[in-house]
Amino acid sequence: MREIVFDTETTGLDPVQGDRLVEIGCIELFNRFPTGRTFHCYFNPERDMPEQAFQIHGLSVEFLKDKPRFAEKAEELVGFLGEAQLVAHNATFDFGFLNAELERAGRAPVNRERMIDTLLLARRKHPGGANRLDDLCVRYAIDNSRRTKHGALLDAELLAEVYVELIGARQAQLVLSQSTAPVELSGAAIVVRQRPLPLVPRVSVEERAAHRAFVATLGAGAIWLDYISSD
């Protein structure tokens, strides 16, 4: 199962009122594991940067003026997203800006049925608790010391770790089984893979012979005899 965890930075709070997307960071997960594939881009918003927004993310008009416009990167971004489920924290906000930019670029908006909101997941799992991204990092002992300002790619990386904790997938991934059949845990199928080639034995023939000789001195009732094969 492919999922994309993403975060955005903007010039403000409302795309309807002319606020624009200035950064997006995306992390690819496959079966809840990061694959190492990412998409990250800054955008020229073609407008000013309000001081309140600048204090949050530190992206100035001077820094963004030579960056591509969203429409110039829309095809690459849409290709990276594919048909994956899209995970965001307070996802309505990020989806609102993403779809507003896609529509400006003449692209179809992303269906909101693909949306997974980690803020809603956190509120269900920790009702009454603080559920900002920083709060969840503290709750799950995730190192967020690099987060001195908001940054879309770093926030997406942290959110990917938080998301795995919220849905209990980290514990599910640690379950051991000798079965090759999919195991249903936390609503997701986990395929237990077997090593294609066995590890090379670390015990030499001489060491095995010495061990057999030692076990033979223990008498007929020694339990170790049950674990010595005939070969």
Q: Which amino acid is at 190?
A: I
Four-residue CA torsion sign, 91, 96, 100, 101: negative
**Cross-strand bridge partners of residue 190:** 183
> Does the annotation count 150 as an active-site position?
yes
Q: What is the DSSP string of 36-95?
A: EEEEEEE---SS---HHHHHHH---HHHHTTSPPHHHHHHHHHHHHTT-EEEETTHHHHH
* Residue 98: strand, helix, or coil: helix
Given the residues 40, 57, 126, 150, the one annotated as active site: 150
Active-site residue set: 150
